[in-house]
Each structure stands twice: as C-alpha cells, then as structure tokens.
Amino acid sequence: MSFGQGGPDSGWDPWKPQSQQQSWSGGGDAPDWAALAEASEARAKRRRLLFICGGALATVAVAAAVAVAVVSADGTGSASDQPSSQLPSTAGLPSATATAPSFAPTSAPPPLDPKDFIASAKKDTAPLGPDVLFPGTQLTMNETVYKKGPTADTRTCSGAAQQSLPPLLTANGCTRMIRVTYTKGDIAVTVGVAVFDTEAQATATKSQADTKSNIRSLSGGGVDPFCTGQICRSTTNSYGRYAYFTLAGFTSGKDVTEQDTAVFRAGDDLARFTFDQIHRRGQAQASAAATR
C-alpha cells in the first residue's frame, strides 16, 4: 500500500458523505475540479427533473381520483359505459311520480237549494207575515214607485177569496192567506199569498184555478174600494209551498181593458216582486243552514 496516492479504486466520492477523502501531498496529478463541478451540476439537474416529473404525475393521479369520486357520487359512472341494450327499458324505469304524495280527492259540498227550504212547512220555519214578505212603505220596480197600502193576515183562506177560488183553497189545505195592496195613482193592486204545508198542494191550487179564481181586493187606509164588481185583471202562480195571486184595477171604478197597459204592468210588477220575496226567503234559510 502506498500513501499519498489517490487512484480510481481509492473509494472516495466527494458527493458521498461516508467516503473518506485521502490527503494529497506531494507528487501526482491534482484533481480535475472543473470536471467534478460539471458532474455535480449534471446530477443536480437530474434530481430536479425527477422531482418535477414526479410532482406532475402526482397531480394527474389526484385529479383522476377526484373525477372518479365525482362520477361515482353522481351515480352515472357505470351506466354511461354500458351499451343501450343493457339499460332498463322504459317500463322498468322508476316513475317520476312514484314517490309523490297522494291525497284523497276532496270536493266542496254542493250549495243548498233555496227552493228546498220553501217547499215544505217542515223546513220553512223562518218568521212569516205581511211585513216580512212586504217590508217598508213602498217599493220600486223598473223605476216605477208603488206605495204600500193596507195589509191583512188570516187563517181562514176562503174568506179572503171569491168566486171559484175559496173551494180550491179549502180542498188543497190552505193554512194562511196574507194580503197587501199597492197603489200608483188611481191604479191599485192587491197581492194575496196562500200558504200550504207542501209544494204539491200549492201546485195543485195553481193548476186547478181558472179565470174566476180571484182573491178579494183589500181597501182601506186611504185606498178606495176597487174590483168589487168591475172588470179587473188577475194572475195566478205558485212557488214552493206558496200560491200567489194578483188583482189589479182602478180605484175610480172603471173597467180594465186590454189598452190599459199600466194596469197590466202594475200587476206583473207586483207578481214578480212577490216571487222574488219568496225566493229570498228560501235563500236566507239556505244560507243560515250552510253555516251551521
């Protein structure tokens, strides 16, 4: 062994910490420091390149893992790779409304019919009288004002009727007769409302009446007698358990002719008002029953 010589097999690497550097003294060639520096720089470049490539590969791997996780969470990863023949048919797919809550069908009850409450005495229990059916001191129909005159209310229906009407009222079971007179100038109209227990009785009275089935005119309280022997115009009708009549004429005692359109119009106005009042009676009771 020679000391002071450094050869290829000396075992020392300036970049290896565990290698031992031999001392140089005296003769022999000096180390090539430039070559050693170039080798060191080359190794440093290789390490940086490896580090950069490793970081890029790691980034790609993380991105791929995140993409796989997103696809898996969405539930479409496996199905999107399958051919269409392997997907469930339309019938096999879950319905969009399969899990929707269902509710029992509901519907509002039909409104109560006002006529049901005036068709029989059992349901028609509201107060009744001349001032109930014919309130106030006057009424206006089609811009025509009629003044209210005397009223009457009797349980003996035949006494408030004349000619062929009394036996019809008795036979069909009339229980009450309400009368009121309205005037306009020298025209007077008496309205009579016959009350029955059932709609069938009132309808029968209407159908059996003839041109001589009239009520008695009602005078007094400033209204002169009328239609006591003169020709007058009369009407007959029924609604629910009520039959209603009108008798219209002149307080002057003049006969009514076909040319006296004002008398016809007055009788029609009062007949219409009576119908409306009976219908309102049914409406009020139907409304009250609906809120109970």
CA distance linking residue 192 with residue 176, whole number of Å: 10
Task: Work out the burial of residue 253: count CB atoms within 10 Å of its CB; fewer than 13 is exposed, 13-18 middle, 19 or more buried.
Answer: middle
The pLDDT of residue 77: 45
Q: Mapping DSSP to helix (H, G, I), strand (E, B) and coil, where does residue 41 land?
A: helix
Task: Work out the burial of residue 182: count CB atoms within 10 Å of its CB; fewer than 13 is exposed, 13-18 middle, 19 or more buried.
Answer: buried
Strands (E), the chain: 138-141, 144-154, 161-163, 176-184, 187-195, 213-215, 233-239, 242-250
Phi, psi at residue 53, to the nearest 5°? -65, -40
Q: How is residue 224 annotated by DSSP?
A: -
CA distance linking residue 52 with residue 44, whole number of Å: 12
The pLDDT of residue 9: 45
232 close to 256: Cβ distance less than 8 angstroms: yes
Q: How many Cα atoms occupy the beta-carbon half-sphere of 31 within 13 Å?
A: 16
What's the start-to-end Cα distance of the chain, in Å? 128
The encoded tokens of residue 133 equal 């059916």
Listed by start position, the domains of the chain span 35-80, 114-290
Non-local (6+) Cβ contacts of 187 within 8 A are 248, 249, 250, 251, 262, 263, 266
Q: What is the pLDDT of residues 98-134, one digit of tens each?
A: 555 665 666 656 678 999 999 999 999 999 999 999 9
Q: Which residues of the chain have pLDDT under 50?
A: 1-12, 14-28, 60, 62, 65-91, 93
Task: Work out the burial of residue 264: count CB atoms within 10 Å of its CB; fewer than 13 is exposed, 13-18 middle, 19 or more buried.
Answer: middle
The pLDDT of residue 14: 45
CA distance linking residue 161 with residue 170, whole number of Å: 11
**Which one, of 123, 112, 119, 114, lies nearest residue 240 by Cα?**
119
